[in-house]
A and B are shown apart, each in its own frame.
Chain A
């Protein structure tokens, strides 16, 4: 593989758990908000525990480099708000996303917001998701959010439900976005990260 796993620090939340999850897979990541580090990364991970406006501000100084790397084929995993900021805009508030995914982030219907808890992942037969759960068992993933991309978003390969069906896993080229928190989803989350790494290392060559 060409370079390290880099967790992009957008200043919007705690990155320890996610770093620990990669360490447990034998792949300790680097954490940085330096465009040069992004340029040298083999795999990019963009987490976010934040509102859309906050993470949009956080990625702004890194926008050019992130988009350049993705266009050049570097695999990128967006998590939660890090998935949402891959789109262009959100109902949550002002701010410009990276525009790497089509569609606009919408608010989930109330009254039980935020959606905080475990929900089953309804999967298409996507290779990255095949090893999770079983043929007749959907894996349960942990969510903490009030906004999401609609289930009809181009590239959606799995959905979950909270008031409406929403995009849980979106893939477009070298970009993968997940609305759930793999770093808080126990064994299923670890299995997803392992499958992502396996795919990403294939892509990154």
Chain B
């Protein structure tokens, strides 16, 4: 199981949402560039950086994101409000290894097809889910299409992977919740889980459910035996 340290950016700082509105944001670090560098120096094989401001339509952290991409010597997958064709091209040209698309990709499947074909292997489909439904637009809407059907559609595209974010579990460090079972098994791309990982037992749960990699956020910045073991797994 690959552990992908994640940094969510909010107002220039590193913080994590607790499943809902930004009022429930936990700030964990002031200097995002130094934080990203620290994970790379520890031996992380890959990082994830999400611009929460952009995702929620409350400004963005464009410059900071570019500075991180220039400063880090490991692949970085980026996301957060990516709905614009040119912006995705810019980020990939600026050094992002992969771009995470979600809201527009789910609302506008032909656009997802076009993005995947234009950047084969470099688009990650991000599915924020709750009760086995995909959430859109900063979790303010949910999609009527069943998750299984989204996974089937994704299987036919040259994607770099599918990122399943459990919005019920995220930011709580209380375990990964519903690991989606057969839905994940049907996905033929790299399967990445996010949300709720608090210790090594969560990594085992996700591996058993068929996930290849886990994005870990808040827990990596906390103290305790679980976080200690997760930090050891970053290499």
**What residues make up the interface of A, taking CB atoms closer than 8 Å to B?**
13-14, 16-17, 20-21, 24, 113-114, 116, 118, 140, 142, 144, 183-187, 189-190
Q: Can you add 16 more A-B contacts, CB < 8 Å, to A113-B120, A183-B73, A186-B74?
A: A14-B69, A14-B93, A14-B94, A16-B94, A17-B70, A17-B72, A20-B70, A21-B73, A114-B122, A116-B121, A116-B160, A118-B45, A142-B75, A186-B40, A189-B73, A190-B73
Query: Taking the nearest CB of chain B, how far is it from the CB of A48, in angstroms?
Result: 13
Query: Taking the nearest CB of chain A, how far is it from the CB of B28, in angstroms?
Result: 22
Q: Which residue of A lies closest to B119 (CB)?
A: A114
B73 to A185, Cβ gap below 8 A? yes
Task: List CB contacts (< 8 Å) of B50-76 with chain A.
Answer: 69-75
B45 to A16, Cβ gap below 8 A? no
Query: Taking the nearest CB of chain B, how far is it from the CB of A53, in angstroms?
Result: 17
**What residues make up the interface of B, taking CB atoms closer than 8 Å to A?**
40-41, 43-45, 69-75, 93-95, 97-98, 120-122, 160
Which chain B residues lie closer than 8 Å to A185 at the CB level? 73-74
A14 to B95, Cβ gap below 8 A? yes
A20 to B71, Cβ gap below 8 A? yes
Partner of A184, one of B43, B74, B93, B121: B74
Which chain B residues lie closer than 8 Å to A13 at the CB level? 93
Query: Taking the nearest CB of chain A, how far is it from the CB of B235, in angstroms?
Result: 9
| Overall SS of chain B's interface | loop
Which chain B residues lie closer than 8 Å to A20 at the CB level? 70-71, 73
B120 to A184, Cβ gap below 8 A? no
Query: Taking the nearest CB of chain B, how far is it from the CB of A12, in angstroms?
Result: 10
A184 to B75, Cβ gap below 8 A? yes
Which chain B residues lie closer than 8 Å to A16 at the CB level? 69-70, 94-95
Query: Taking the nearest CB of chain B, how far is it from the CB of A195, in angstroms?
Result: 16
B73 to A184, Cβ gap below 8 A? yes
A113 to B121, Cβ gap below 8 A? yes
Which chain B residues lie closer than 8 Å to A17 at the CB level? 69-70, 72-73, 95
| Docked complex Cα distance between A24 and B71 (Å) | 10
| Docked complex Cα distance between A144 and B93 (Å) | 13
Question: Which 4 pairs of residues, A with B, have the shortest CB-CB distance?
Answer: A16-B70, A114-B121, A186-B74, A14-B95
A184 to B71, Cβ gap below 8 A? no
Q: List 8 A-B contacts (CB under 8 A).
A: A17-B72, A24-B73, A116-B122, A118-B45, A185-B73, A186-B43, A186-B74, A187-B43
Which chain B residues lie closer than 8 Å to A114 at the CB level? 120-122
Which chain B residues lie closer than 8 Å to A190 at the CB level? 73
B73 to A186, Cβ gap below 8 A? yes
Q: Which residue of A lies closest to B122 (CB)?
A: A116
| Docked complex Cα distance between A183 and B44 (Å) | 14
Q: Which residue of B lies closest to A16 (CB)?
A: B70
Q: Which residue of B lies closest to A181 (CB)?
A: B75
B94 to A186, Cβ gap below 8 A? no
A186 to B95, Cβ gap below 8 A? no
| Docked complex Cα distance between A190 and B41 (Å) | 10
* Interface-central residue, B40, B71, B95, by most chain A CB under 10 Å: B95
Which chain B residues lie closer than 8 Å to A21 at the CB level? 73
B45 to A184, Cβ gap below 8 A? no
Query: Taking the nearest CB of chain B, how far is it from the CB of A173, in angstroms?
Result: 28
Which chain A residues lie closer than 8 Å to B93 at the CB level? 13-14
Query: Taking the nearest CB of chain B, how far is it from the CB of A64, in angstroms?
Result: 29
Which chain B residues lie closer than 8 Å to A187 at the CB level? 41, 43
Given A20-B73, A21-B73, A114-B120, A186 and B45 touching (CB < 8 A)? yes
Which chain A residues lie closer than 8 Å to B44 at the CB level? 186
Which chain B residues lie closer than 8 Å to A186 at the CB level? 40, 43-45, 73-74
Q: Which residue of B lies closest to A184 (CB)?
A: B75
| Docked complex Cα distance between A160 and B69 (Å) | 26
Which chain A residues lie closer than 8 Å to B122 at the CB level? 114, 116
Given A118-B45, A142-B75, A184 and B70 touching (CB < 8 A)? no
Which chain A residues lie closer than 8 Å to B45 at the CB level? 118, 140, 142, 186
Q: Which residue of A lies closest to B160 (CB)?
A: A116
* Interface-central residue, B40, B72, B75, B97, by most chain A CB under 10 Å: B75
